[in-house]
Amino acid sequence: SDQSTRPSVLEARSMEAVAKYIKQNDVKRIVLMVGAGISTSAGIPDFRSPDTGLYANLAFLDLEEPEDVFDIEFFRENPKPFYALAHELYPGKFRPTIAHSFIKLLYDKGMLLKHFTQNIDCLERQAGVPGEMIVEAHGSFASQRCIECKTPYPDEEMHQMVEKGEVPRCGCGGYVKPDIVFFGEALPSSFFDNRSLPAAADLCIVMGTSLSVQPFASLPSLVSEGVPRVLINMQRVGGIGSRPDDVLLLGDCDAGVRKFAKAMGWEQELEALWGET
């Protein structure tokens, strides 16, 4: 299999070899690409995990297609299912996972070039990663506006409406939507502005994503050949493993980052950092 291809820059396809590579090459331009799987242990369901994922549990929203809840045309007709879900997922109810603290640790060590996230839960920020280090490729709940006239809507009122499970409306009558990217909408300019960074990375870490939503899913392919890519995920995704310097840590994200930290000698530091959040 391709797993037997001889690595070019690593001694072996192992976390220990990655740790050695990091130390010997003074790695400090790490690019991360993450998704909902880094937040599931915080209690936020992902989309696509069988049984536990949102798509398997959307019956209560009474939808024909689970994707409709994030579809802009559907929202314009009926925003209620989205707000029922927003009521469940609204930021402020969840604590960052140790995988989020791992990202903060990389930042503290001056090793983080950029963190690309598909998540809308703001848990990276909550773990202490500065906003300018994060590309929220699918937006977030941090701001909101009218879908018709685009007028911003106040945070405090938004908070109250979501708590009550009501749909906020603009003065013009249009529905208000958080600035999260729905199917059928463009990604924020920050995604395109930072798209050249994966090619400048000296290490890539992909965590907790099925890599099934484009254009985000193509980011790992932009990493240069000869730069190791580490996948920390329940299963193999996005063809990672096909390059000679790809390393797979299959299993849950929290165990994966602990394994990473252990190989670097950062175990206690990571646990302490997480303990403080």
Query: How far is 129 from 41, CA to CA, in rounded Å?
Result: 19
Nearest C-alpha neighbor of 212 from the set 113, 140, 138, 123: 138
Q: Which stretch binds ligand CNA (CB under 6 A): 101-109, 128-136, 146-154, 203-211?
A: 203-211
Query: How far is 136 from 208, CA to CA, in rounded Å?
Result: 15
- Asked if 213 is part of the footprint of ligand CNA (rule: CB under 6 A), the reply reads yes
- Asked if 128 is part of the footprint of ligand CNA (rule: CB under 6 A), the reply reads no
Q: Which stretch binds ligand CNA (CB under 6 A): 41-49, 106-114, 160-168, 196-204?
A: 41-49
Among 206, 233, 245, 260, interactor with ligand CNA by CB under 6 A: 233
Among 7, 10, 27, 37, interactor with ligand CNA by CB under 6 A: 37
What minimum distance in Å lies between the beta carbon of 226 and ligand CNA? 26
- Asked if 119 is part of the footprint of ligand CNA (rule: CB under 6 A), the reply reads yes
Is 138 noted as a catalytic residue in this protein? yes
Among 160, 212, 224, 268, interactor with ligand CNA by CB under 6 A: 212
Among 100, 138, 177, 229, interactor with ligand CNA by CB under 6 A: 138
Residues labelled catalytic: 138
Give the footprint of ligand CNA on this chain (CB under 6 A).
Answer: 35-37, 39-41, 44, 46-49, 53-54, 118-121, 138, 208-210, 212-213, 233-235, 237, 252-253
